A and B are shown apart, each in its own frame.
Chain A
Amino acid sequence: MSDGTARVRQLRSGPSDEPQVELWVFGLNHRTAPVELREKLAFPEEDLADVLRRALAAVPVDEAVLLSTCNRVELVAVSARDVDIVEHVTQFFARERNVTASTIAAHCYVHRGKQALQHVFRVASSLDSMMVGEPQILGQMKEQFRLAVEGAAASRILRRCFERSFTVAKRVRSETGVAGKAVSLSSAAVELARRIFDDLGDKTAMLIGAGKMSELAARHFVAQGIASVIVTNRSFDRAVDLARGFGGTPVPFEKYPQYLPLADVVLGSVTTSGYLLGPSQLHDVLRARRRKPMFFIDLGVPRNFDPAINDLDDVYLYNIDDLAHVADDHRAEREKEAVQAEEIVREETDRFWRWISRRDMTPTIVALRGKLDGIRRTELERALVALRKLEPDERRALEAMTQAIVNKILHPPLSVLKQLALQDGAEASEVAELVHRLFALEPAEAGEAADADDEP
Chain B
Amino acid sequence: MSEALLLWLALLLYLVGTICGGLSLVNPRESTRRATAISLAVGFLLQGAGIVVRSFEVGTIAVGTLAEQGALFACLLVGVYLLAQLRYRLAVLGAVVGPIGFVGALAALVAHGGAQDVPPFLRSPWLPVHVTLAFLGNAAFALACLVSLVYLWEERQLKSHSVGHFVRLLPPLETLDDVNFKFLGWGFVLLTLSIVSGALWAELSFGRFWSWEPRTIWTTIIWLLYAVLLHGRVTVGWGGRRAAALTIVGFGVLLVAFIGVNVLTPGRHAESFG
Binding site for B on A (CB under 8 A): 191-192, 194-199, 290-293, 310, 313-314, 316, 318, 322, 325-326, 329
Q: Is the CB of A291 within 8 A of B240?
A: yes
Known: A195-B172, A310-B159. 12 other contacts (CB 8 A): A191-B163, A192-B158, A195-B168, A195-B173, A196-B173, A197-B172, A198-B174, A290-B239, A314-B240, A314-B241, A318-B161, A326-B161
The total of chain B residues at the interface (CB under 8 A) is 22
Contacting pair B174 A313 (CB below 8 A): no
**In the bound complex, how far is the Cα of B170 from the Cα of A314, in angstroms?**
17
**B49-77 CB contact bits vs A (8 Å, 1 = yes)?**
00000000000000000000000000000
Find out whether the CB atom of A291 lies under 8 angstroms from the CB atom of B158.
no
B269 close to chain A: CB less than 8 A: no
How many Å lie between the Cα of A104 and that of B158 in the bound state?
32
Closest to A327 in B: B163
**A293 engages B161 (CB within 8 Å):** no
With known contacts A192-B158, A313-B240, A316-B158, A197–B174 Cβ distance under 8 A: yes
- Contacts A195-B158, A313-B240, A314-B240 known; A293 to B174 CB distance under 8 Å? yes
Could you mark each residue 171-205 of chain B with 1 if its beta carbon is under 8 Å from any beta carbon of chain A, else 0?
A: 11111001000000000000000000000000000
Given A195-B154, A291-B239, A314-B241, A329-B174 contact (CB < 8 Å): no
Q: With A290-B237, A291-B237, A316-B158 known to touch, is A195 a contact of B242 (CB < 8 Å)? A: no
Q: How far is the CA of A198 from the CA of B175 in the complex (A)?
A: 5
How far is B154's CA from A195's CA once the two chains are assembled, in angstroms?
A: 9
Nearest chain A residue, comparing its CB with the CB of B88: A198
Of chain A, the residue at the smallest CB distance from B162 is A325
CA distance in complex: A196, B240 (Å): 11
Q: Give the residues in chain B near A316, CB-CB below 8 Å.
A: 158-159
| Least CB distance, A360 to chain B, in whole angstroms | 53
Top 5 A-B pairs ranked by shortest CB distance? Answer: A290-B237, A198-B175, A198-B174, A322-B161, A198-B172
Q: B167: CB under 8 A from chain A?
A: yes
Determine the chain A residues whose CB is within 8 A of the CB of B168 once the complex forms: 191, 195
Tell me which residues across on chain A come within 8 A of B174, comparing CB atoms: 196-199, 293
- Kindly provide the distance from the CB of A214 to the nearest chain B CB, expressed in whole angstroms: 19
A294, chain B: closest CB distance, angstroms:
11
A397 to B154, CA, bound (A): 95
- 5 A-B pairs (CB sep. < 8 Å): A191-B168, A194-B172, A197-B173, A198-B175, A198-B178
Contact with A along B119-162 (1 / 0, CB 8 A): 00000000000000000000000000000000000100011011
Please, which residue of chain A has its CB at the minimum distance from the CB of B160? A310
- Residues of chain A within 8 A (CB-CB) of B173 are 195-197, 293
Q: How far is the CB of B223 from chain A (nearest CB, A)?
A: 25
CB contacts (< 8 Å) of B29 on chain A: these are none
Shortest A110–chain B CB gap in Å is 32
A291 is contacted by which of B159, B170, B175, B238 (Cβ under 8 Å)? Answer: B238
Instruction: Pick the contact of A195: B163, B237, B239 (CB < 8 A).
Output: B163
Query: A325 touching B161 by the CB < 8 A rule?
Result: yes
Partner of A314, one of B161, B163, B165, B239: B239
Chain B residues with CB below 8 A from A199, complex form? 174
Question: In the complex, which residues of chain A have a beta carbon less than 8 angstroms from the beta carbon of B161?
Answer: 318, 322, 325-326
Q: A residues within 8 A CB of B238?
A: 291
Report which of B163, B165, B171 forms a contact with A192, defined as CB distance below 8 A: B163
How far, in whole Å, are A202 and B172 apart by their CA atoms in the complex? 15
Give the CA-CA distance A329 to B175 in the complex, in Å. Answer: 24
For residue A195, which residues in chain B have a CB less than 8 angstroms away from its CB?
Answer: 154, 158, 163, 167-168, 170, 172-173
A198-B178, A291-B239, A316-B158 known; A326+B163 contact, CB < 8 A? yes
Residue on B with the closest CB to A310? Answer: B159
| Complexed CA–CA distance, A194 and B172 (Å) | 6
| Complex Cα–Cα for A293 and B175 (A) | 12
Residues in B with CB closer than 8 Å to A325 are 161-163
Q: Which of A194, A197, A293, A316 has the most CB of B within 10 A?
A: A293
User: Nearest residue in B to A313 (C-beta to C-beta)?
Assistant: B241
